[in-house]
Every structure is written in C-alpha cells, then in structure tokens.
C-alpha cells in the first residue's frame, strides 16, 4: 500500500516511508507512464460529526486513476475535493454506509455539482441501507431530497437532466453471502449489512483488476463478524475508528462504535492486507499513538490513520506479510495437510498445527477445534 498525504510534510505506513518527495515522484511517474493503479482511495473527509479542522466522512475510489465512486458524502467533502482540484465528472456511483448526517448530509450538494459539470444529462447510482422505524430507506431518503417531489427537486433540471437509480441493500448481519452488483468495465461491488446501534448500516467491497478494497462506516462490536466476512483477504480495509479503547470514551459510544483493539483483532482474523482508519473525531486524533498501539498489538500489517486529502494506492500485500499467512482455509480436518487440524471460526476455518493435544488438556484427552462466533476459538478437551 502506497500512501501519499497531500499537502503534508511526510508520508508513510507507520513511519516506514519517510520521504514524501520520493513517494510523490514515484506515483507521478507511474501515472505519467499510464500505469495508474487499478484501485486507489482518496480521503476527502476524515473527521467526525463534531466541529473540527477535518471534513466529515467521505472517500473517493479511483478506478484506473479516475475518480468513479464516492463512499459517504458528509459535510465538507466537496470543499476538500475543490481544494484538491479533483475532477468529479466521472463519479457515477455513491455508496452510503448509513444515513447519519455526517455521512450522507452533502448528497444534494454533490448532485448539484454533477449537473453543473457541463453535460446534457447525468445519471447517478446510489446504494445504501434499508430503513427501519427510526431511519428511512436509501430509496426513500433519495426521493425525499432529489425525487420529483423532493425538497431539492429543482436539481433534476438544473444545468443538466439528472436521473438517479437508488438501491436499498437489504442483508442481515448474519447473512453468509453479500449482495452483489456489477458496475461495468470489470468493476464489481459487494455489500453486506452490519450493526451501528439503531441505524441500518452497510459495508461495501469493491474489486477491480485483481485488487480489492472494503469500506466500512461506523460499526459496533456486534457488527464486526459481518465486516470480517466481507473483508476476508481484501487488500485494504477502510474503517471508522471513532472511539478509544474502554474506558477512555463515553460509555454510550461503545453501543455504536468498535474500539481499536477489537478492530485490530477483526482485521487480523480477516487477513486483510492493510488497514486505513478513518472518521477520527478530535478526541481520537489526539491519542493517535494509543490507537496505533492498540490495533498494532493484534494486526501486524500496514496501518495508517487517515487525514483529509490522503491518497492510498491499493496494492497486494506479500503473502508472507498477511496475518496467518500460509495457513490454509478449511471446513474440516480433511482440508488440511498432515499434522494440521481445522480450527473453525464462524463459517470458515484456518489450518493450524495440531499441537494443542498436550497443552491445556487433562491427561488422557486431546484438544479438538470447535465452531465459534469470535476468534480465537476456545479449545475443547475430549477423551481419546
């Protein structure tokens, strides 16, 4: 994963790339040779809902070097795009992780910007969660803002004719299979619901050119197993890191957000190549080192905390660099090599050396794998 902090004085993966000039030169040279990465992400907003120097949540996904997908569109994201002189004219897909104001509040302004690009017609696709008693569905949300009778219906014929196809992603967090859609030109989208307190929420996985990135907004601890399934073996996981480890954030926030330690453990189990922590409120940014230590204690891959303008090239991590590298995936012991057992965790297992027979079990018993929801699975001692 190559990281460039636009307008900053340094760039790096946990301090591993200290020379900004070299990083920028290499990236620029690659683009000049037509070697744009299959996938990159650029953070437009890395902040939270409270006033700060950072814009609220918003991340661009660049496909072959061209901005194509906008994931969340919180207040301030368009300002950042303007400051960075980003051309949004090819962005035709918006993915909303959930319908809180700091993730979806600037959707009408983005639609307005698109119809003023100079074309005769603009077609947008908006994917997001279904609704419940406290939140509208994405289709209802879009219709209320930009539909024929919406609050900002004038935008539909303001410079260009606007049409919007909105899709409610309705999958339960317990679902084993995500919803899938093709976005054309070899670009695929998968989506899976998860938990964010009382707000319906969705995580998204984008794949193109052999690369994969998973983008997740706010998620509470009960939603992490769904994120783990969606992010399995992804090259990059972009996830909100909005609280500190207990007890250092207000207790109520842990009902809606996962602490860094649990995020790190989930990322390690999912064997993602790299993690980018986004949606950082001031209280979390002020203790960035503590967040890095907590995640890094469990996830040993590249870890970066987002800032506005950050550009990340999605790259395949070397096999040896992924957590649990070399351990095969399995459902039964028969899927593993000799001397290994299948340790199941949820729906998919990991082949590990069957070395626990004499560790932790009484004489005359052996350790067998068990199926569990959260890793590491506890051993189960059974008679020989």
Same domain, 252 and 109: yes
| H or E element that contains 271 | none
pLDDT at residue 330 tops 60? no
Same domain, 121 and 171: yes
For helices 260-270 and 224-231, give the axis angle rounded to 10 degrees.
30
Residue with tokens 């905390």: 305
Instruction: State the average pLDDT over residues 294-306.
Output: 93
Query: How far apart, in whole angstroms, are the C-alpha atoms of residue 80 and residue 57?
Result: 11
pLDDT at residue 58 tops 90? yes
The token duo for 180 is 């899938």
How many other β-carbons are positioned within 10 Å of the β-carbon of residue 114?
22
Strands of the 348-353 sheet, one edge to the other:
329-330, 348-353, 340-345
Closest CA to 226 of 199, 266, 261, 188: 266
pLDDT at residue 62 tops 70? yes
Same domain, 311 and 344: no
pLDDT at residue 212 tops 90? yes
How many other β-carbons are positioned within 10 Å of the β-carbon of residue 123?
12
pLDDT at residue 146 tops 60? yes
170-to-104, 190, 191, 203 alpha-carbon distances in Å: 18, 12, 9, 11
Radius of gyration over alpha carbons of the chain, in Å? 22
Same domain, 187 and 272: yes
Same domain, 248 and 341: no
Query: How far apart, in whole angstroms, are the C-alpha atoms of residue 362 and residue 49?
Result: 53
Same domain, 309 and 342: no
- Average pLDDT, whole number, for the chain? 81
The token duo for 35 is 């070697």
Query: How far apart, in whole angstroms, are the C-alpha atoms of residue 318 and residue 376?
Result: 24
The residue range of the domain holding 131 is 2-321
- Count of the separate structural domains present in the chain: 2
With beta carbons less than 8 A apart as the criterion, state whether 102 and 48 touch. yes
Query: How far apart, in whole angstroms, are the C-alpha atoms of residue 239 and residue 223?
Result: 12
pLDDT at residue 332 tops 50? yes
Same domain, 300 and 376: no
User: Quick one: pLDDT band at residue 316, thresholds 50, 70, 90?
Assistant: confident
Instruction: State the average pLDDT over residues 51-67.
Output: 93
How many other β-carbons are positioned within 10 Å of the β-carbon of residue 67?
19
Q: Please tell me what DSSP assigns to residue 139.
A: H
Whether residue 247 has a cis bond before it, omega within 30° of 0: yes
Query: How far apart, in whole angstroms, are the C-alpha atoms of residue 80 and residue 6?
Result: 11
Whether residue 376 has a cis bond before it, omega within 30° of 0: yes
Same domain, 194 and 316: yes
Same domain, 127 and 169: yes
Q: What is the pLDDT of residue 340?
A: 56
Instruction: State the average pLDDT over residues 195-206.
Output: 92
The percentage of residues in the chain with a pLDDT greater than 70, rounded to a whole number, is: 74
Query: How far apart, in whole angstroms, are the C-alpha atoms of residue 333 and residue 310?
Result: 44
Give the model confidence (pLDDT) of 356-369 as tens digits. 433 455 666 555 54
Is 329 or 376 the better-scoring residue by pLDDT? 329
Q: Please tell me what DSSP assigns to residue 283.
A: H
Instruction: State the average pLDDT over residues 34-45.
Output: 89
pLDDT at residue 169 tops 50? yes
Where a domain ends, among 274, 304, 321? 321
HSE (side-chain half, CA atoms, 13 Å) at 340: 19
Q: What is the pLDDT of residue 26?
A: 35
Least confident range from 13-17, 189-193, 288-292: namely 13-17
The token duo for 13 is 């993966």
Where a domain ends, among 274, 298, 321? 321
The percentage of residues in the chain with a pLDDT greater than 90, rounded to a whole number, is: 63
Query: How far apart, in whole angstroms, are the C-alpha atoms of residue 308 and residue 43?
Result: 5
What CATH number did the domain enclosing 65 receive?
3.60.15.10
Same domain, 213 and 346: no
CA 324 to chain centre: 21
Instruction: State the average pLDDT over residues 27-43.
Output: 70
Same domain, 348 and 218: no
Q: What is the pLDDT of residue 63?
A: 96
Is 2 or 77 the better-scoring residue by pLDDT? 77
Query: How far apart, in whole angstroms, are the C-alpha atoms of residue 93 and residue 361?
Result: 54
Instruction: State the average pLDDT over residues 279-292.
Output: 93
End-to-end CA distance of the chain: 47
How many residues belong to the chain? 384
Query: How far apart, in whole angstroms, are the C-alpha atoms of residue 105 and residue 55?
Result: 12
Least confident range from 76-80, 115-119, 180-184: namely 115-119
DSSP 76-133: THHHHHHHTT---TT--EEE-S---HHHHTTHHHHHHHHHTSS-SEEEEEEEEE---S
Same domain, 198 and 159: yes
Q: What is the pLDDT of residue 11?
A: 26
Where a domain ends, among 273, 292, 321? 321
């Amino acid at each position: 994963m190559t990281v460039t902090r636009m307008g900053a004085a340094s760039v790096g993966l946990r301090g591993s790339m200290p020379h900004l000039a070299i990083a920028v030169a290499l990236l620029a040279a690659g683009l000049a040779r037509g070697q744009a990465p299959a996938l990159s992400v650029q953070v437009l907003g890395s902040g939270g809902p409270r006033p700060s120097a950072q814009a609220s949540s918003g991340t661009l996904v660049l496909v072959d070097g061209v901005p194509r997908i906008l994931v969340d569109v919180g207040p301030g994201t368009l300002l950042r795009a303007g400051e960075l002189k980003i051309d949004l004219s090819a962005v035709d897909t918006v993915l909303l992780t959930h319908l809180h104001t700091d993730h979806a509040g600037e959707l009408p302004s983005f639609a307005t910007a698109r119809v003023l690009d100079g074309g005769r017609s603009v077609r947008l696709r908006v994917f997001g969660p279904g609704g419940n008693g406290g939140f509208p569905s994405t289709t209802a949300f879009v219709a209320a803002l930009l539909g024929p009778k919406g609050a900002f219906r004038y935008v539909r014929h303001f410079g260009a004719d606007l049409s919007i196809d909105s899709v409610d992603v309705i999958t339960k967090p317990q679902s084993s299979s995500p919803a899938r859609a093709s976005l054309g030109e070899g670009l695929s989208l998968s989506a899976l619901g998860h938990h964010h307190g009382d707000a319906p929420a969705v995580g998204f996985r984008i794949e193109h050119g052999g690369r994969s990135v998973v983008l997740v907004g706010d998620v509470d601890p009960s939603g992490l197993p769904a994120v783990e399934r969606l992010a399995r073996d992804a090259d990059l996981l972009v996830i909100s890191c909005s609280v500190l480890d207990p007890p250092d954030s207000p207790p109520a926030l842990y009902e809606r957000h996962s602490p860094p330690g649990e995020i790190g453990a989930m990322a390690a189990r999912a064997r993602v190549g790299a993690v980018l922590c986004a949606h950082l409120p001031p209280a979390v940014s002020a203790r960035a080192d503590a967040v890095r230590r907590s995640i890094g204690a469990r996830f040993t891959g590249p870890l970066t905390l987002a800032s506005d303008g950050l550009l990340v090239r999605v790259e395949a991590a070397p096999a040896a660099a992924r957590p649990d590298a070399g351990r095969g995936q399995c459902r039964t012991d028969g899927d593993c090599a000799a001397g290994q057992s299948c340790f199941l965790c949820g729906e998919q297992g990991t082949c590990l050396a069957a070395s626990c027979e004499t560790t932790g079990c009484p004489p005359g018993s052996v350790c067998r794998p068990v199926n569990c929801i959260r890793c590491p699975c506890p051993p189960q001692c059974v008679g020989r």
